[in-house]
Structure 1
């Protein structure tokens, strides 16, 4: 029952959790931004993108400004929206 929930978690050789991918294109790594959810493989917090989008920036602007794909921007904002629901 618990095993499917653990699949998006990477473990090191000692069995400690190191990286969690709770959503498409999102990772939580305690060594990056103190474990703040970020766009996978980057140091860009998903919350920052969501806040900027809420302030009126379009997906395309965020994509250009942060050198991300539109899909990454949409996934990051989607993750933040799922937390608010």
Structure 2
């Protein structure tokens, strides 16, 4: 199982490092938003499923307060007795509540009202914006960088290869030009190497954000 450290989990999910730490903790009267399934103590390590769930939480926070998100998750877990990993569920928000969505209807989790119709669902794997930041596609965070949980556990790789993005980025940081990367990795083009370096820069930027 691929283990994502908080920095990479934040980069792929759109959450900030502060949010990840805050979401691991239980609230005054509510449970934690998401506890990493690999390791919740140092070193903290997230799974691919955790990253998918985190993207869901980030998208929910675009139109719902953290208190409402916690309330919805508690309803899901305690009232509906849903115990699967959070990534297994489709959760959407419309500004007034959060819903557990099915293809044609959804259960209101935040207000605990009757089923309502949801007209449009958003794929959590696709790119989106959060607090002015562009959060990339989870499965293709850059044109030549891909994430496949079936390949080396989901570590971001150069597209069409088994070469991790960070190994290529490290070579560029050490002064190897993009045009010479193929001397080290014949299947990696200069363009792909630049994409790897760009994604590495994105991962390493720590952007402050709201809870």
TM-score range, shorter chain: 0.7 to 0.9
Residue aligned with 1:22, SS: coil
Q: Which runs of 4+ in 1 moved over 4 A?
A: none
Deviation digits for residues 1-54 of structure 1 (CA, Å, limit 9, x no counterpart): 77265236xxxxxxxxxx811222111111212211101121010000111111
Aligned to 2:189: 69
Higher helix share goes to which structure?
Answer: 1
Which of 1 and 2 has greater Rg?
2
Select the residue among 140, 147, 151 that pairs with 1:28: 147
Instruction: Name the residue aligned to 1:43.
Output: 162
State the alpha-carbon separation in 1 of the partners of residues 200 and 124 from structure 2: 19
Q: Which runs of 5+ in 2 are unaligned?
A: 1-58, 60-120, 128-137, 206-211
TM-score, scaled to structure 1: 0.72
RMSD: 2.3
- Equivalent residues of 1:63, 1:73 under 8 A apart: no
Query: TM-score, normalization: structure 2?
Result: 0.32
Moved more, 62-71 or 45-54: 62-71
| Contact map agreement 1:26 1:75 (CA 8 A) in 2 | yes
Q: How many residues align?
A: 75
Task: Tell me the residue number matched to 2:125.
Answer: 6
Aligned to 1:11: none
Give the C-alpha shift of residue 63 in structure 1: 2.9
